[in-house]
Structure 1
Amino acid sequence: NSALGVAYKMRSLVLLLIGVAWVSAQDADCDGGKLPGLGMASARVDSHQIRLNTLEDQIEKLGARASDAAGSNVGQAARNLAARLNKLEGDGCGPRHFQCGGDRKQCLSDVLVCDGSADCGNGADESDDVCKVRVPAGSSWEGDVFWSSCMTFTDQTLRLIITGNRRVNYFQPRVWINAVATFENEEDGKTVTRTFNTQGNYNFGKRRAVLFPPASAPLQVGIVCDFVTDDAADCSLTQLVSLDVCAKVRINKK
């Protein structure tokens, strides 16, 4: 919206600039033809020239603002793409570490990320983007589950609703979350729904949410989700006893 507003202002200023230029040209023609009011026409031309210069300065400033507004969207897209590439290529750090990034690679324990004290040389571990809670209370997520082992379901859908989260002062690198998980699939021509409550945490350093079902849940699988963007995560359904990965699902924010 800000970019559109800037573009609208730029268009208005350009139209005004054209109008002022036309008036100046008319006065200049009068000047060249030695018509009456020569001195007044010359003064008006000078006045219009000042206004033209002022308008040109305003247009340049608005153009810079439009570029900045567009650049912010491009920057977010670049960060999301970098996160996805980083997941595929690895970051050179251990499984429980955070990559600070920058020209000089630095690995940091994930329990030091978003703890209120900058430990990376570039301060990346306390940046707004890293310390953003990607599982806010009330958010809803959904995706299609593809089972590879453990259990077999067809055309199953997973829905997650984050019912609450909290962050304690004595251990800020984690956000403790509560959620409702619903698995839905077709069996013998009927829709079967399995719903249970889950609890777990969100790890800022790994951008990862881990949810565990209660002992009474119909499906004894943990849900591990790695967030590739603010609105999408790649999840694994892991059997609690064997820790085998049973299924994969990409969930998207609804």
Structure 2
Amino acid sequence: EWSELAIGQADMMKSLRLLLAALVVVTAVAGDKDKFDRDELIEHLVERTGEVTHKIYEFEQKLDARMDPDRIRRAGSLRHRVEELEDPKCPHHEHSCGGYDHQCISNLFFCDGHVDCRNGEDEKHCTSPLKAGDRFIGDVVFDYCTTRKPEHITLVVESVNTAAFFKGFPKVHVHMEMESHGHDDDDDHHDHDESSLPNDGFYSFGTHELIFQAPEKDGLSLHGEFDGSNFDRFVGDIVTVSSDKPCARFIFHRDHHDDHHDDHHDDHHDDHHDHRDHDDDHRHHKARHHDKHHDDHHVEHHGHN
């Protein structure tokens, strides 16, 4: 489709240039011809030039629509969903460079300051989607393991720091605010419980994942994954060190005050699929879990050096 658009644009621009050239030539050499014939010819050329110009304008509008950031983001999110259903293209602890030229490189090589992908993709998108002050509100999808059974988790980013020698894994310090409503069977009383836990983790540019340590002795930790296109939303899985499957899931959205209705609609649609398909995700989670564990080990190793 893009190649057809490019060919169409080239043809229209060529036609416009030829018409303008013809207009110049007719104006310059038609002095000896009948004035009526000359004016009629010029009028025809001007009219034709206007038609071509209008087509170019319509083409630019179509091109702008295809370059709309929201549309590109939604297309990227859809592509990610399809890729999640496919078998992994790369071995554990490696990630695809994308594009038609298939190439896998280590997650450690993304955004390290050196181009490793042949298409340069590993160094093109190296701005962290997280910054101090960001808030993400997570709504529960399912919860089979937490003690508090929170209905919501609010992730408040306190700081994001990038080490000069390990740029691909910025360290993230957050507060996890949990809100739950307990039920006491003895007195039919609903208890409102709120708690806040500080936590440390890191963001991986290669996998677009947000990995946190277990803040308590129960060994439960939060592993978040952006889809690589929409950085206002991520799927947060609660996992244990003894299991390769998520035992709880929350869908997090960036806390905006000026969200657009379309964004809410798209996110709600994605959330519905995440709820419906969470059992299917178990098939692919093991590979991702080992990948995360490998990266976590490298991050801790470099952090101690």
2:144 corresponds to 1:161: no
User: C-alpha displacement at 1:42, in angstroms?
Assistant: 7.3
TM-score, structure 1 length as denominator? 0.71
Q: Which has the larger radius of gyration?
A: 1
Cα displacement string for residues 116-151 of structure 1 (whole angstroms, at most 9, x for unaligned residues) = 2221222222233xx342223332212222211253
Say what the alpha-carbon RMSD is for the aligned residues: 2.8
Any stretches of 5+ residues in structure 2 without a counterpart?
1-33, 184-189, 256-305
Displacement after TM superposition at 1:248 (Å)? 1.1
Q: How many corresponding residue pairs? A: 210
Match of 2:166 in 1: 171
Asked if the contact 1:150/1:239 (under 8 Å) is kept, the reply is no
Q: Confirm whether residue 198 of structure 1 aligns to residue 168 of structure 2.
A: no
Q: Name whichever structure is richer in helix by fraction.
A: 2
Q: Could you tell me how far 1:110 is from its partner in structure 2? A: 0.4
Matches within 5 A, 1:26-175: 48-73=43-68, 74-128=71-125, 131-145=126-140, 146-151=142-147, 153=149, 156-175=151-170
Counterpart contact for 2:148–2:180, Cα < 8 Å? no
Separation in structure 1 between the aligned mates of residue 134 and residue 53 of structure 2, nearest angstrom: 42
SS at match of 2:67: helix
**Aligned 8 A contact 2:172 2:201 in 1:** yes
Percent identical residues: 21
Unaligned runs of 5+ in 1: 1-38
Q: Where does residue 11 of structure 1 map in the other structure?
A: none
Q: Secondary structure at the match of 1:164?
A: strand
DSSP-derived class of the 1:105 partner: coil
Deviation at 1:84, TM superposition (A): 2.1
Q: Deviations over 1:174-214 (max 9, x none)?
A: 11112121110112423211112221110011110012255
Amino acid at match of 2:77: N
Evaluate the alpha carbon distance shift between residue 133 and residue 233 of structure 1 in structure 2; reply closer, same or farther with a 3 A threshold. Answer: same
The answer to whether the 8 Å contact 1:98/1:110 transfers is: yes
Q: From the two aligned structures, give the one with the greater strand fraction.
A: 1
- The 8 Å contact of residues 236 and 249 in structure 1, kept in 2 or not, is answered as yes
Counterpart CA distance in 1 for 2:146 and 2:73 is 38
Tell me if 1:225 matches 2:224. yes
TM-score normalised per structure 2: 0.60
Note the 1:175-190 alignment, pairs <5 A: 175-188=170-183, 189-190=190-191
Q: Determine if contact 1:159/1:183 at 8 Å carries over to the other structure.
A: yes
Judging changes above 3 Å, is the alpha-carbon distance between structure 1 residues 186 and 43 closer, same or farther for their aligned structure 2 residues?
Answer: same
How far off is 1:158 after superposition?
Answer: 1.1
What secondary structure, in the 3-state scheme, does the structure 2 residue paired with 1:167 have?
strand
CA contact 2:233–2:251 (8 Å) conserved in 1: yes
CA distance in 2 between counterparts of 1:150 and 1:197 reads 17
What is aligned with 2:263? none
In structure 2, C-alpha distance between the alignment counterparts of 1:232 and 1:71, rounded to whole Å: 22
Closer, same or farther: CA 98–77 of 1 in aligned 2, 3 Å? same
Structure 2 residue aligned with 1:36? none
